[in-house]
Structures are given as C-alpha cells and as structure tokens.
Structure 1
Amino acid sequence: MWKLELDEEYFRIFGSDKNVAGYFDPDYGDIHPKENEEEIIQSMIKNHDSIPGGFLTVPLLKFGIFDTDLNTDIDSIEERLAGSLDRLKRWRMAIKEINPEFHAINISHTDQDMLSISFSLNFGQKVPLKKESILEKLSPILDLLHKYSLL
C-alpha cells in the first residue's frame, strides 16, 4: 500500500493513490566534518549504512478557512472547525499508540492553510538505508494513521 522514493537525503512516502502521504527524514547521526555532510550522507545511502530511526512528517489537518478568496458564513466556519477538532481527537489517539519521544506541529511548507506533524521514530534496532527495510518499519505506523483516517 505504501511506497518510498528517495529524494536527495529524505524519503517521500506515497499512498496507494500515488499521492505524497508524508516524508521520512532518516537520523544520519552526528556527521563530521560538517562541510562534507552532503557527501557523507550520499555515501551512507549508497552503502546502505544502518540508521536508528528518523523523523516522520505527515499532514495534521487542513482548516479550509485561510484562503484569500474565502467568502463564507458562520455556519460553514463552525462546521470546518468542528471537523478539525474531530481530526485532532483522532490524532491524539494515534499519537498515544505510536508513543514517539516527541512530536512537533508546524505550518506546512506547501500549504499555509495546513498544519503538519513531525515525530521521532526509534526503530529499536538499526535498519539499513534501503527502501524495503525502512518501509518495513514505517508501514505499521502508516497503517495505523490510515486506520484512524489520518492519511
């Protein structure tokens, strides 16, 4: 159901609809020297070095109200905000199940009307930097988010 594509130093996550569902940014560790970071990371990817985890970023919610052309009424705004609150409740349940060390919520880089959530993932044991290996670790989390209708 899920597919990963490497894009420079991170992976794009695609759903079965072939749309981007999120991003996985591997934890490459403390890389020295910093001026060679890009080359070192590319070497790690090429050699399928192992990583302990990383950061998963997915859409949290889209409000549907921060459009410059918005012309609506109070009932529509209330309905959209109620839908956002319901989605936040489902997110709270999913985060409890995933139990990341931390999570952060930011305005999406691609849509100012959307919030995205990033959370840390520790795989428990190191995993090779191979799409199949990483996807094996990410799939249960992505499936859980899909079960809650969050992806």
Structure 2
Amino acid sequence: MIRRYGDPVRADRHYRRRPGVYAVLLSGDDILTTFQETPLPEFQLPGGGIDPGEHPMAALHREVREETGWRIGGLRRIGAFRRFTYMPEYDLWAEKLCTVYLARPIRRLGPPTEPGHHAVWLPVEEALVRLGNAGDRALLAAALR
C-alpha cells in the first residue's frame, strides 16, 4: 500500500494515473529544490512525470536537469507516495504516483531550462517546512533518518 498525501479523492472526478520520479538532493545541511512560479508559487523536490516509453531513471535525470540545471548521481530509492490533484498546466485531474530517490548533486550544468523554475538551495530544516506538499516533506524526513 502506497501512502496518500494531500487532498482526498473526489468521487465526482476521473483521475488519470501519472507516474513520476523526484529527487532529494542533499549537500551537507542543505537541499537543492526547485521553485516553481505557477500555477501556485512553491518549493518542490525536483522531478516530474515519466514520458511514455521513457525509463524512470532517464526521466529523473532529465527532470532534475530541466528544473535545476544540475547533473546527479548515486541514486537510491527512498519510497513512494500518491497525490490526487488537479494539474492546470495539463487541464487534468491526476493520481500522481511519486517515487522519490536520494541522489547527489554532482555538477551544475547551467540554469534550469524549464520555464518558471528556479534552482534554490535551502537549509534542510527550512525545506521540511517550506516544501509545497506533504509527500515531499515526508520523504525528505525519511531520507534524513
């Protein structure tokens, strides 16, 4: 059973399953996050949806590069969670299946290429409060144990 975080499932909505991969990127007492401006400004674990036919690890590397501009390595699976949410950028009600990995930021390649995303280093204690969804906060806490 994968734990659910966030809003309850609404019986009046049809949700499309959307698998995604995300990274906890620690360096000392700091974590590399992405700050997404829209639809709501929030700090997030870098990552996102897996494209059809794409390997999950390739998706994780691509998403982290797009959202932070960093290359990563040393991946280890932490866990997974589900969120039922509306994704206005896709006009889609989604059941997000979020698999989270602990990884090392290896090298900054340049600025993020994903529009509206900014790479932001936060102290871990601050990130535990400021990450925009409860699943991200819970998996960060799990990575720290």
* Same-fold status (TM-score > 0.5): no
Name which one, 1 or 2, has greater alpha-carbon Rg.
1
TM-score of the two chains, using structure 2 as the length reference: 0.28
Which protein is richer in strand relative to its size? 2
Q: Which has the higher contact order (CA 8 A, sep 6+)?
A: 2
Which protein is richer in helix relative to its size? 1
